Amino acid sequence: MKQVFVIPERCMGCRSCEIGCAVQHSKEKTLFSAVLQSPPPMKRLFVESTDAIRMPIICRHCEDAPCLRACISGCLYRDEKGFVRRRKERCIGCWTCIMVCPFGVVTRDREKHIAVKCDRCHKLDTPACVAACPTGALVLVDIDDMPKETRQRLVLAGQKGVG
Amino acid sequence: MRYLVIGRSIAGITAAKEIRTNDSLAEITVVSEEKAKAYYRPLIPFLIDREEIDIFFPDDPLEKYGVKTLHEKVTGLDVTAKEALLSSGKRLGYDRLLIATGSRAVIPEVKGFQGEGVFPLRTMDDALGIKSCAKGKKRAVVLGGGFVGTKVSAALRHIGLGVTIVERCDQVLPQRLDRGGARIVAEAIRKAGIGIVLNDSVSEVVRESGTIVSVRLSSGALIDADIVVIAAGARPNTEPFRSSGVQVGKGIRIDEALRTNLPDVYAAGDVVEYVDLVTGELSVSALWTNAEEMGRIAGRNMAGANIKYRGFLGVMNATEIMDIPVMSVGLIEPEGSGYEVVVDDAIGTYRKLVFKEDVLMGVVFVGDVAHAGIYTNLIRNRIPIGSLKEEAIRGELGYIHFVGTVPHQTFPA
Amino acid sequence: MEKSIDRATCSVLRNAEKSGIRTVWERYSAQLPQCGFGETGLCCRHCMQGPCRISPFEDGPREGVCGATADVMVARGISRAVAAGTASHGGHAKHMARTLLRSAMGEAPDYPIKDEAKLQAVAARIGVSVDGRDAAAIAGDVARKALADFSEKDSPLTWAATTVTKGRVDTFLKFGVVPTGIDSAVSESMHRTTYGVDADPVNILLGAIQCALADYSACHMATDLADILFGTPSPVVTKANLGVLKRNAVNIALHGHNPLLSDIVAQVSGEPDMTEKAKAAGAPEGINVVGVCCTGNEVMMRHKIPMATSSVSQETVLLTGAVDAMVVDYQCIMPSLANIAECYHTKLITTMPIAKIPKALHIEFHEDDAKESARRIIEAAIEAYGKRDRDRVHIPDESSTAFAGFSTEAIVGALSLVNREDPLKPLIDNIVAGNIYGVCLFAGCNTVKVTQDANYTAMIKELAKKNVLILATGCASGAFARHGFMTPEATEQYAGPGLKAVLTAVGQAAGLGGPLPLVLHMGSCVDNSRAADVAVALANKLGVDLPMLPVVASAPEPVTEKAIAIGTWAVAAGLPTHLGVIPPVLGSKVVTEVLTSTAKDLFGGYFIVEPDPVKAAEKLITVLGERRRGLGLSA
């Protein structure tokens, strides 16, 4: 199964992934219509940086997902592909998922008062963030095809594949 | 192996799921007084004002996991025979038992509480009762300004009633929110047209020919009312088990494997008393998220695992009140010395962080809750914050600061 | 997306793909996804505290380090693009003015005054006395006056003030956008958009309009002076598309912009000894010069030289394997040409000190011995011919007939055959009668972001059907020429009945024995000034200002900063101006609003952004209808 990985040293901090994500989650799914959309579409991943490192922080669709377990309204669920997704109509905006996500990748839709999170672009072969990355910092790979050293390094970097 | 789970809210359901996942041959029975399908209890206040709300579990988890359900009241245990006693007179044998009976509403002794128009809010039926009674009514008094009280007030206001909250403490959301945060929340509640009376309590519900006309407060004040909702807290449902010799403190006592003192009897959820990770003291949680976690550990342990439960955060609340997101985690009103408290109450938002030396002990966020889970993780796992204190205070902490250093441990390993 | 709708282009590109040669289309694919911040104009690199960018969506910073908002960033970006475009046309025009001056002073023997009538007309217009003076004296004064327009003056730019309507002058004065120097306008744009200067997006945009008017002046000057030195174009019949290359001739492709180079090469290539040298080198058909891009337009209309291709597909000329030398000056020259030339025997020859390309042969072109430079260039081509690998030559068959060279003077000349006393009257009468619904000027480039020529060909069919008179310049001309729209046959096939009748009447009067071509080719991109002249003449004749006229402009496949500058002055001139590619402005609501709406209130012109060509044509027709109604005409 293919998973999304981040290779931090390739990240230029350009935030193209954020834009690609927001566009993918807009009504018409093109940049120019998305820019004109009101309210604007929301991104689901976040490029963060320190002096030493910069990289997009993405939803891991954790095996033991705190958001999913904490959801008090039956909104979050794990779909057949293993992605943690929303039943939007069930969200009551209690923000419990935001309170428990250790990655900080669940956010608030201030207009609709519902939680927003990565759906791993479940309808696409390649997630929008991966497709938008110009440097290959976000990659979609089969963990088995990944060289051992890369895998070890990513694991050491506290990462877990997504998907 | 026969498993019996008493109680069918989140602790019981989660435990049943975990038992099934870890023991495919298990014979699992869940007993519950409530006849309705399993539902999300935190959603019941929305039944009052939201027509479209669906409070039931999307796929009946018990059916999905092959769990037998009985709608009966459990009245006691025969520990020797390993049987649960039911109000129908029947007995139900078990090899392992889980007490997950949760809690019930506290109803103070007040003159006039008996009779029509006074409701607790603990079950779906309570909520539906309030909804139907509120039709055509003008004024409601809500006893208690906690989460349930504020939510039911908002719902009643939303369907057009005038509402007054009467809270005996000097702030709304006592114990759940610090004073500073509570002030902002109270202001928003008042702005929405809901009255708040603090440091007072209801001494009498005044009725004329049985119908409620007003509520008298201990201070002597009289408030017009047609309907009264009691949201004065909850108490663990331990009564049916007391005669069996189970140890009870504030709730049923359990060990770190969630076992009671009785053989093969476990307990989980709001009914138990356990360690508050922040204070180190024994306490009752009454939080959905904690109940879920306890149910999961209990279920696995009952099915043969040996997972240790470290305890819960007694304060770990998130909600939205009058469109303002509110969150509080851990120690929020520290007493004594040795704490560093940082408050930032810039316009529109309120942030409070409580540190003890190098460790974040608690936070309150009002208005902006972005990245809150990062802070919760730090508090829960007592991760030394080191040089990141300033970032934490400024609200600039992100997972990026912990890449490669902090495991995101949220479940006991 | 298809690369091009042109068969010749596609067939050459298929060969390139097979050989593993990468062109602009592959490089574009490799660039995808392009940066969303750049696409929306929301990045700023104007200082070293940056780079800064603002998300076009929800959270994230709403301003750069200095406090510049999205509106400021976008306005600055577009303003600098206009400045760069102005600098380009300014450089072109200044080069021309210096050469004219040296010609007048006898220092540039290869550049005699070719069109004295035009010299006198320009001189009279700009206030240079002509009575009893010889051409050199007049030319000297015209050149000096032209050069004076580059630095800051106390008065408005001569080439702006003397070429627009009174109404425009008043409007420009009212909004304080009258330029007083071409170079100084560029300089001021750079100043006001640097760190910590202009932070009012609307003020920045007004500055951009002022600079764009300097660009207009530069374009007009370049056209005027080119006509003086090389002759005012009149209609010619030639060919366009890759099929114009010859298997048995030394093929020389002229590419770039300024006729100072290309016209001389064209002249020298016709010298008998050059032909002899080519034949001696084994090319029985001698020398075959073809044009590319705007240089292609310049030599097409003055020398009947066929046009091989236009901007975006410039590499395809080399990919035929049949080009012995490509000679370039400046602007729109892809650096990649050197790599492609290297795959063949082709010599890429750069000629300008400000435009060198590594791996190209640099033969610097000097005005004082221009023809000698040209001879060296042609000899280099003849030498390369000997190394041509005949097995790799692939010249597509396609070439279309193209009628070119409809300068303003030529159009008025043709109309005067219908009405000698009042040449514009037939045009106006037919606009009034509705036989001509309106006029659309197509300008701009081809872009890799649109299937080549797709927008042009779709739009022209819609507009012609509705009796809109079509003018074209620059690479728009290349597109129409390639697809046979610059022919009387196209008029027969696509023009609505009214337009067909008018074009036929004028064509008959001009002795063509049939209609004028559907598209009137007005020249290169600097020659947009010719179209402006037609509009100004119409407005003056009608006694109204430009924003009243049923005249629109369209750049359906724009690329360059020059296109942005031209589009901006077209808007300032009062023309609704269509863009078929979304410019990097959508990141700012204010800038978008000003360009597409507020500008209409201030200047009468405004941008219409519409990537769909059929919808774009509909919008332009709607606008023409509005303007017709405004004049009390049937719509």
B309 belongs to a structural domain: no
Q: How far is the C-alpha of B406 from the C-alpha of B404, rounded, in Å? A: 6
Q: How far is the C-alpha of C209 from the C-alpha of B342, rounded, in Å? A: 52
How does residue A155 score in pLDDT terms, banded at 50, 70 and 90? low
Residue of chain C nearest A111, judged by CA positions: C58
For residue range C461-506, list pLDDT tens digits in order. Answer: 999 999 999 999 999 999 999 999 999 999 999 999 999 999 999 9
Provide, as residue numbers in chain C, all residues whose Cβ is less than 8 Å from the Cβ of A132: 33, 36
For residue range C249-307, list pLDDT tens digits in order. Answer: 999 999 999 999 999 999 999 999 999 999 999 999 999 999 999 999 999 999 999 99
Q: Does C607 touch chain A (CB under 8 A)?
A: no
Residue C300's pLDDT is 97
B113 belongs to a structural domain: no
B261 belongs to a structural domain: yes
Residue B408's pLDDT is 42
The distance between the two most distant Cα atoms of chain B, rounded to a whole number of Å, is 70
DSSP secondary structure letter of residue C558 = -
Is there a contact between C57 and A132 if contact means CB atoms under 8 Å apart?
Answer: no
B377 belongs to a structural domain: yes
pLDDT of A64 higher than 90: no
Q: Closest to B40 (Cβ–Cβ): which among A48, A66, A73?
A: A73
Is the ipTM here above 0.90? yes
How does residue A162 score in pLDDT terms, banded at 50, 70 and 90? very low
Amino acid at B353: L
Q: B324 with B397, same domain? A: yes
Residue B338, number of CB atoms within 10 A of its CB: 8
Q: B67 with B155, same domain? A: no
Provide, as residue numbers in chain B, all residues whose Cβ is less than 8 Å from the Cβ of A72: 40, 42-43, 288-289
Domain termination residue (choose one: B249, B268, B302): B302
- C: neighbours with 3+ CB pairs under 8 Å? A
CATH number at residue B227: 3.50.50.60
Q: How far is the C-alpha of C452 from the C-alpha of C3, rounded, in Å? A: 6
Q: Which domain does B379 fall in, by range?
A: 316-402
Q: How far is the C-alpha of B413 from the C-alpha of B234, rounded, in Å? A: 31
Q: B224 with B144, same domain? A: yes
CA dihedral sign of residues C223, C226, C232, C234? negative
Residue B301's pLDDT is 97
**CB contacts < 8 A (A, C):** 56
How does residue B279 score in pLDDT terms, banded at 50, 70 and 90? confident
Residue B367's pLDDT is 94
Q: B148 with B94, same domain? A: no
- B: neighbours with 3+ CB pairs under 8 Å? A
User: According to the CATH classification, is domain A2-58+118-162 in 1.20.1630?
Assistant: no
For residue range B68-90, list pLDDT tens digits in order. Answer: 999 999 999 999 999 999 999 99
Q: B72 with B212, same domain? A: no
Residue B339's pLDDT is 95
Instruction: Specify whether the CB–CB gap between C318 and C307 falls below 8 A.
Output: no
Provide, as residue numbers in chain A, all residues whose Cβ is less than 8 Å from the Cβ of C582: 32
Average pLDDT, rounded, for chain B:
93
Tokens of C34: 């392009």
Tokens of C366: 């000097």
Q: Strands C325-328, B162-166: parallel, antiparallel or unpaired by DSSP?
A: unpaired
Q: B201 with B261, same domain? A: no
Q: How far is the C-alpha of B339 from the C-alpha of B330, rounded, in Å? A: 13
Mutate to test the interface with A, among C39, C54, C58 (most CBs of A within 10 A): C58
Q: B386 with B298, same domain? A: no
C189-209: average pLDDT:
98
Q: How far is the C-alpha of A148 from the C-alpha of A139, rounded, in Å? A: 16
Domain termination residue (choose one: B181, B200, B232): B232
The answer to whether the bond into C33 is cis (omega within 30° of 0) is: yes
pLDDT of B397 higher than 70: yes
Residue A146's pLDDT is 73
Provide, as residue numbers in chain B, all residues whose Cβ is less than 8 Å from the Cβ of A64: 410-411
Beta bridge partners of B162: B139
Please count the structural domains in chain B.
3
pLDDT of C393 higher than 70: yes
Residue C145's pLDDT is 98
Question: Could you say which residues from 111 to 140 on chain A have a Cβ atom under 8 Å away from some Cβ of chain B?
Answer: 113
How does residue B348 score in pLDDT terms, banded at 50, 70 and 90? confident
Is there a contact between A19 and C36 if contact means CB atoms under 8 Å apart?
Answer: yes
B297 belongs to a structural domain: yes
Question: Could you say which residues from 37 to 76 on chain A have a Cβ atom under 8 Å away from some Cβ of chain B?
Answer: 46, 48-50, 53-55, 57, 62, 64, 66, 69-70, 72-74
Q: Does C37 touch chain A (CB under 8 A)?
A: yes
How does residue A63 score in pLDDT terms, banded at 50, 70 and 90? confident
pLDDT of C193 higher than 50: yes
Q: B130 with B209, same domain? A: yes
For residue range A98-124, list pLDDT tens digits in order. Answer: 999 999 999 999 999 999 999 999 999
Tokens of C247: 């298997």
- A: neighbours with 3+ CB pairs under 8 Å? B, C
Provide, as residue numbers in chain C, all residues whose Cβ is less than 8 Å from the Cβ of A35: 40, 56-57, 586-587
B132 belongs to a structural domain: yes
Question: Could you say which residues from 179 to 238 on chain C have a Cβ atom under 8 Å away from some Cβ of chain A?
Answer: none
Q: B146 with B214, same domain? A: yes
Domain termination residue (choose one: B232, B257, B286): B232
Q: Distance of CA B261 to CAs A111, B48, B245, B300, Å? A: 50, 41, 8, 18
For residue range A21-44, list pLDDT tens digits in order. Answer: 999 999 999 999 999 999 999 999
Residue B164's pLDDT is 98
How does residue B349 score in pLDDT terms, banded at 50, 70 and 90? confident
Provide, as residue numbers in chain C, all residues whose Cβ is less than 8 Å from the Cβ of A43: 55, 57-58
Q: Where do the domains of chain C lie, and which CATH numbers do they carry? A: 70-230 (1.20.1270.30), 242-392 (3.40.50.2030), 402-630 (3.40.50.2030)
Q: B321 with B396, same domain? A: yes
Residue B409's pLDDT is 39
How does residue A158 score in pLDDT terms, banded at 50, 70 and 90? low
Q: Does C53 touch chain A (CB under 8 A)?
A: yes
For residue range C79-135, list pLDDT tens digits in order. Answer: 999 999 999 999 999 999 999 999 999 999 999 999 999 999 999 999 999 999 999
Beta bridge partners of C554: C442, C578
Residue A160's pLDDT is 44
Q: B184 with B290, same domain? A: no
Residue B413's pLDDT is 27
- Nearest residue to C307 (alpha-carbon basis) of C266, C339, C270: C266
B324 belongs to a structural domain: yes
Q: Does A88 touch chain B (CB under 8 A)?
A: no
Q: Strands B316-321, B272-275: parallel, antiparallel or unpaired by DSSP?
A: unpaired
Q: Closest to A14 (Cβ–Cβ): which among C35, C39, C56?
A: C35
B59's torsion region: left (phi>0), alpha (psi -120 to 50) or beta?
beta
Q: Does B348 touch chain A (CB under 8 A)?
A: no
B262 belongs to a structural domain: yes
Provide, as residue numbers in chain A, all residues whose Cβ is less than 8 Å from the Cβ of C57: 18-19, 22, 34-35, 40-43
Q: B142 with B88, same domain? A: no
The shortest C-alpha distance from B71 to chain A (Å) reads: 23
% pLDDT > 70, chain B: 98
Residue C32's pLDDT is 81
Q: How is chain A split into domains, by residue range?
A: 2-58+118-162
CATH number at residue B323: 3.30.390.30
- φ/ψ of residue C377, rounded to 5: -65, -45
Q: Closest to B371 (Cβ–Cβ): which among A50, A92, A104?
A: A104
